[in-house]
Structure 1
Amino acid sequence: MTTPPPLRDMIAEYGLRADKSFGQHFLLDLNLTGKIASLCEDVSDVTLIEVGPGPGGLTRPLLELGPKRMVAIEMDRRFIPALEATGEYYATPFEIIEGDALKVDEAAIIGDGPAIIASNLPYNVGTPLFIKWLKADPVFWRRLVLMFQKEVAERIVAPVGSKSYGRLAILTAAVARARIVLKAPARAFTPPPKVESAVIVVEPLPEGQRFTDLAAVEAVTESAFGQRRKTLRKSLGVAAGRANTSSETLLTAAGIDPGARAETIPPDGFFALAKAWRAARG
């Protein structure tokens, strides 16, 4: 392996600029990108997937880890030549897929064996991508190392009763454990965003501990948290109507006080509610 030119030089050479319409902010802090890559830990037996690599700030330390194989998914074709040039400096088999990560079938890409996804996610698609990976069946990833807006990261790891607790934390808890491991100031990016960012590590629960009916979880949490200030007896009405039953019936079946509010119910309570909703819906 030889050393690629400095990232800023490559950005200048290829005339690259961040496009706000794609939620792009270049991560050029070498200390930070190195720390993020290290969170992947042992990658010797995995396909390492990076989504939205842009000019390759995180791509370089990921390639240096020496994964069995690395795949970068980038929908902005302006970055493809720079990424191709970067890959030539490393021994790791490196493939670039030009396309929308929301439409890519990751399981088909990786084939046999586990995958790790590491990404400085574009702000405008970070949450949909994360939910897509949570819903993957079977779960194809061994670990997710993802940078989000700090507010989104806090919603993912939020404990019951907190202001950030809601649908995202419950969906995450259904299939995985997540924790915030790094925070990144706006000045680490070019151009600097208006918000701070944070990196989370997500690992799937053992198969027997996952709650897999995420469609039902989404139905009851969307209804319950749609009117946070109301009791579940009232806020659950939309979901109950979809199942041709009453809020009271669903809550009683789940063993939940109809007078409680959504933010006071732990994930297990919502999983019980999701089961009751699915049973009523048939």
Structure 2
Amino acid sequence: MAVSRKVASFRLPPLPTVGELIKLYNLRAEKQLSQNFLLDLRLTDKIVRQAGSLKDAHVCEVGPGPGGLTRSILNSGVTDLLVVEKDSRFIPGLNLLSEAAPGKMRIVHGDILTYRLDRGFPKNISKSWEEDPPNLHIIGNLPFNVSTPLIIKWLEHVANRTGPFTFGRTRLTLTFQKEVAERLTACTGSKQRSRLSIMAQYLCTVQNRFTIPGRAFVPKPEVDVGVVHFTPLVQPQIQQPFKLVEKVVRNAFQFRRKYCHKGIEKLFPEACRMELTREMMQRADVDPILRPTELTIPHVRALADAYAHLCRHEPSLLTYEFREELRLKHLNRNKTKAVDTFMDPSGSTTQSAPQPC
């Protein structure tokens, strides 16, 4: 007779609730750090499920705070959880969790924007880029003020296969302000289509999994929150350096309501602006009167390839920045005014100095 056996699963021993830890350590969400606590363990469990199966997985949690999401990750069957927390107020509560899950949780008191994740996990978990993703996940309920710069930094790491992507096509499950989540996943032609849409989607499969109402957080933010899942593509849809692609996309979207050629023009110095813009648009075979939100990734790929071609013939174009040119013009204009204007003894401006013959 067959004997059924239940597979033992790890569960944290009884611990103070997240709310009790907040009271115990007198923790407050800092507004200037865009902190909002998620205390509902049903919702933290739901976020963790979006990452897929975490059985025997290695996980990095970004900004665990009081540890609500941390508990859900530990209960999901992970082998190893590395948490990176910048705010020292949360370290004692995280130490309690670590003691309750011996050998499973490591704590780094540091800034995720500078921490070297490529050194945080053993090399033997790596997979080649062409294989399935490694059993390594990044999960985080991100503060609003760090979410956009952090995802741009990680997208650059995806493009260069550095940082957490030295291990292969590491998957990310992250929270964003709802509007940012919509931009990351916006399709061509939608009003939310933006620079973030292109930069994320040319490198990753990006899915907006579900929305958490703001009232679920403490304190309640003014906006809802979206949970977004990223899986790096085997082949990026644009085969140009990340910085070059980012520059083309940033310029194309700087005048959202105008035709796309208006932003593309600002890639070039004034002396050759019209000529090179015309050449770039023709080489890319992109209609110059498309709106930026109407640009597909193939359009952007063609524009990036055309811009790269022009830069190979004139390398100084790569370092040209329209905003820097404006700044220098403004400085020179102010210097000229200072030379051409003199002050009366009371300190008020009187008249322009006479011009030399």
Q: Deviations over 1:96-116 (max 9, x none)?
A: 111111111211212422321
Work out which of the two has the higher radius of gyration on C-alpha atoms and give 1 or 2.
2
Residue 307 of structure 2 corresponds to which residue in structure 1? Answer: 277
Q: Does residue 255 of the first structure (1) align with residue 280 of the second (2)?
A: no
Q: 1:135 aligns with which of 141, 146, 156?
A: 156
3-state SS of paired residue (1:228): coil
Q: Is the 8 A contact 1:234 1:247 kept in 2?
A: no
Structure 2: distance between partners of 1:4 and 1:38 = 22
Gap change, CA 1:104 and 1:203, over 3 Å in 2: same
Return 5+ residue gaps in structure 2 as ranges. Answer: 1-11, 126-133, 313-357
Between the aligned partners of 1:69 and 1:210, the Cα distance in structure 2 is 34
Cα deviations across residues 174-193 of structure 1 (Å, max 9, x unaligned)? 11011111111111100000
Distance 1:111 1:252, change over 3 A: farther
Q: Distance in 2 between matches of 1:50 and 1:127?
A: 17
Runs of 4+ displaced beyond 3 Å? 207-212
**Among 49, 55, 80, which residue is 2:91 paired with?**
80
Match of 1:222 among 250, 265, 278: 250
Of 9, 19, 34, which residue of structure 2 is paired with 1:8?
19
Q: Distance in 1 between matches of 2:110 and 2:45?
A: 26
Q: Which residue of 2 aligns with 1:153?
A: 181
Percent identical among aligned pairs is 37
Answer yes or no: is 1:197 the counterpart of 2:225. yes
CA drift at 1:210 = 6.1
Provide the aligned C-alpha RMSD in A. Answer: 1.8
Q: Which amino acid aligns with 1:277?
A: Y
Matched residue, 2:78? 67
Contact 2:207 2:228 in 1 (8 A): yes
The count of aligned residue pairs is 281
The one of the two structures with greater contact order (alpha-carbon pairs below 8 A, sep at least 6) is 1
Q: For residue 124 of structure 1, give the secondary structure of its aligned residue in structure 2.
A: helix
2:137, 2:172 within 8 Å by CA — same for their partners in 1?
yes
| TM-score (norm. length: structure 1) | 0.94
For residue 213 of structure 1, report the CA deviation from its aligned partner: 2.1
Q: CA deviation at 1:212?
A: 5.3
| Secondary structure in 1 matching 2:208 | strand
**Are the equivalent residues in 2 in contact too, given 1:174–1:211 (CA < 8 A)?**
no
Match 2:120 to one of 109, 112, 126? 109
- Please say if 1:184 is aligned against 2:205: no
Q: Against the structure 1 CA distance between its residues 116 and 241, is the aligned structure 2 distance closer, same or farther, given a 3 Å change threshold?
A: farther
Q: 2:297 aligns with which of 257, 260, 267?
A: 267
Q: 1:92: Cα distance to partner?
A: 5.2
Q: CA contact under 8 A between 2:214 and 2:224: conserved in structure 1?
A: yes
Counterpart Cα distance in 2 of 1:275 and 1:38 = 39
Indicate conservation of the 8 Å contact 2:237/2:297, yes or no: no
- Write the letter of the residue equivalent to 1:213: P
**Among candidates 37, 55, 63, match of residue 52 of structure 1:** 63
Indicate conservation of the 8 Å contact 2:237/2:301, yes or no: no
User: Aligned-pair distance for 1:235?
Assistant: 1.9
Amino acid at match of 1:32: L
Contact kept in structure 2, 1:49 and 1:117, CA below 8 Å: yes
Is the contact made by 1:67 and 1:92 (CA closer than 8 Å) also made in structure 2?
Answer: no
For residue 153 of structure 1, what is the amino acid of its counterpart? A
- Tell me which moved more, 107-116 or 47-56: 107-116
Secondary structure at 1:50's aligned position in 2?
strand
- Segments of 5+ residues of structure 1 without an aligned counterpart are none
